[in-house]
Amino acid sequence: RAAGCEIDQIAKSIIFRGAASGEALLFITAGGNQVCAEKAGALAGETLGKADAGLIRAQTGFAIGGVAPVGHLTPIRAWCDPRLRGFATVYAAAGTPRHIFPIAPDDLLRLSGAQEADFTR
């Protein structure tokens, strides 16, 4: 509501833990969509599990609830929901649970290094 945008204009940063690699994996999805763990795992090439707060903080530098899709402490493999391209501007977490920033979807893809892919239900 604060951004005055549609729910799908919210670019959610969803982090999973790769079962084989132990790495945090980022899936940037439109606000109204949910990540399908099976599709996402197929893209990542490994089974996905729940990422705990320690892994998320260690790899991204952010706390759960405020993970930005860019600016991580270490490189992260990332995928982006094609639905976000339906908007001129999307809004993503800016490092805290109460801060967001606007960004063009093309810039989000470029800056995050995310691959556009279908991984939602």
- 74's CB contacts (< 8 A; 6+ apart) are 59, 60
| Three-state SS at 121 | coil
How many alpha carbons fall within 13 Å on the CB side of residue 4?
0
Q: Of the candidates 107, 104, 82, 66, which has an alpha carbon nearest to the alpha carbon of residue 28?
A: 82
| Three-state SS at 17 | strand
pLDDT of 12 > 90? The answer is: yes
Q: Domain 7-116 classified CATH 3.30.390.30?
A: no
- Do the beta carbons of residue 3 and residue 91 sit within 8 Å? yes
Mean of the per-residue pLDDT values of the chain: 96
pLDDT of 85 > 90? The answer is: yes
This prediction's pTM: 0.95
Per-residue DSSP letters for 78-117? EEE-GGGGGSS-EEEE-SSTT-EEEE-HHHHHHHHTPEE-
What digits encode the pLDDT tens for the residues 103-114?
Answer: 999 999 999 999
